[in-house]
């Protein structure tokens, strides 16, 4: 079994949120508190991200205003390149998304490159963010991305729970398709 496949199979289930909640005893009426991340913790969380995704996270973190981060997403949507109509098939469609989203990987010289499209500008921006952030990475780097990095983007105020769920589904499908493309590429190389 390849190291990428072994990593994928041994990886613990993804956890969408790492916020630590501290509760007091039932008799204590103090509210539940969420731990605030320090800049050092946020920097540590980006350590295992592919270089392009790390740059994107850093760019989003430098923007203090939620509306400006939302505009950044729309900018990403405008940068998304054309998508082949022949790739708009169910196998490439992201499940569980309110909007229609398709993603397709290709492997060149051991690196993965994605194309994607959506029928919604905001969702297209989210897809473009992942396309730009993950393209040019190795399969192993892509498989190692944990979905909690979305917290670091600071988009919580701009995204509805269903959009956040769709974003997570995009990442999961991109990882699944990366693994499939890698395995097919490995099998073809052995022939």
- DSSP notation for 70-103: HHHHHHHHHHPPP--GGG-SGGGBPTT-SS-EEE
Residues 6+ apart with CB under 8 A from 39: none
With CA atoms as reference, report the closest residue to 73 among 120, 26, 143, 7. Answer: 120
Look-up: residue for tokens 């699944």? 176
- CA 65 – CA 46 distance, rounded (Å): 21
- CA 138 – CA 171 distance, rounded (Å): 15
In sign, the C-alpha dihedral spanning 140, 144, 123, 93 is positive
State the catalytic residue, choosing from 97, 145, 152, 153: 97
Verify whether residue 17 is a known catalytic residue: no
Largest CA distance in the chain: 67
Active site residues: 97
């Amino acid at each position: 079994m390849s190291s990428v496949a072994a990593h994928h199979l041994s990886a613990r289930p993804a956890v969408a949120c790492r916020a630590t909640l501290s509760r007091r005893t039932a008799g204590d009426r103090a509210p539940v508190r969420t731990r605030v991340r320090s800049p050092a913790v946020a920097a540590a969380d980006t350590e295992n991200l592919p270089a392009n995704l790390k740059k994107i996270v850093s760019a989003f973190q430098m923007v203090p205003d939620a509306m400006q981060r939302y505009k950044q997403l729309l900018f990403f949507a405008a940068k998304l390149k054309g998508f082949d109509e022949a790739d708009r098939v169910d196998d490439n469609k992201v499940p569980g998304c309110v909007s229609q989203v398709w993603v397709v990987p290709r492997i060149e010289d051991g690196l993965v490159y994605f194309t994607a499209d959506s029928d919604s500008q905001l969702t297209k921006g989210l897809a473009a963010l992942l396309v730009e952030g993950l393209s040019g990475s190795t399969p192993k780097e892509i498989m190692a991305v944990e979905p909690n990095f979305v917290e670091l983007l600071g988009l919580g105020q701009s995204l509805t729970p269903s959009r956040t769920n769709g974003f997570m589904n995009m990442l999961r499908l991109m990882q699944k398709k990366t693994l499939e493309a890698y395995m097919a590429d490995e099998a073809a190389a052995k022939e």
